[in-house]
Amino acid sequence: MTNPQQPHGPLRSFGRLKSRPVKPRQQALLDTLLPTIAVPHEAFQPLDLMPQAMEVWLEIGFGGGEHMAAQAGRRPDVLVIGAEPFVNGVASAVRHVEEQALSNVRIHEGDARDVVGWLPDASIDRLFVMFPDPWHKARHNKRRIIQPEFVAELARVLKPGAAFRFATDWADYAEWTIERVLASPAFRFAEEGIDRQAIPADHVTTRYEEKKLGDCAPVFLDFVRA
């Protein structure tokens, strides 16, 4: 059953939602390609977007889209839904989709919490939250996307056994996420006692990671929906 979209606060961006003029080619793709692969702005069934999909994956905050496009390219049998509020990031992502001829990507330009609210219960097989806005000052921690209420919504839309990967290069955000995700009985670590700074075999390094803007090496937290 689809859950009515829950109210939430306004979207706050750690950076600007648009940093520079979009290149003409990318703007043309925003005008022509994006409308054809956009997620409906209402409750929807993911498999209506790609009936032949074997699984449905969701990436929250895909940045420039490199990770999302690479994962979609590896698994053409999987529907990959991505959400990103940053206009330049969406422009970059649609370029990746066009250049790689990806037919299994659907995009929401805007708040990922809206997409989660539109999704039916137990409809997602895999979730990525890769290097979200850190909001590392204590007074801004409440703006982080990982909050108890959102963790509960993620638990609702993930199937039992679904994988949830969170990555950050801020040590405090890693601890913050572990505390809040594992506080929910719906989640557990995929593996105990592993090196959480070891790069997962299926990870795709992005330009953001290479900038090393955080205060630690990337931390990868792999959870499972119980």
Alpha-carbon distances of 147 from 12, 141, 160, 173, rounded to whole Å: 14, 9, 21, 11
Name the nearest CA neighbour of 59 among 69, 49, 50. 69
**Which pLDDT does position 162 carry in this prediction?**
99
**Which pLDDT does position 11 carry in this prediction?**
56
**Which pLDDT does position 3 carry in this prediction?**
44
Binding residues: 59, 84, 111, 133, 137, 169, 206-209
Single-letter code of the amino acid located at 50: M
**Which pLDDT does position 68 carry in this prediction?**
98
Binding residues for substrate: 137, 169, 206-209
- The tens-digit pLDDT sequence of the chain (226 residues) is 444 444 566 655 555 444 678 999 999 999 999 999 999 999 999 999 999 999 999 999 999 999 999 999 999 999 999 999 999 999 999 999 999 999 999 999 999 999 999 999 999 999 999 999 998 787 879 999 999 999 999 999 999 999 999 999 999 999 999 999 999 999 999 999 999 999 999 999 998 899 999 999 999 999 999 9
**Which pLDDT does position 15 carry in this prediction?**
52
Q: Which of 121, 125, 133, 172 is catalytic?
A: 133
Domains recognised in the chain with CATH numbers: 24-34+43-225 (3.40.50.150)
- Asked if 222 is an active-site residue, the reply is no
pTM: 0.92
Return the HEC string of 83-129.
EECCHHHHHHHHHHHHHCCCCCEEEEECCHHHHHHHCECCCEEEEEE
Alpha-carbon distances of 1 from 71, 82, 121, rounded to whole Å: 28, 22, 6
Question: And the tokens for 224?
Answer: 């499972």
Binding residues for S-adenosyl-L-methionine: 59, 84, 111, 133
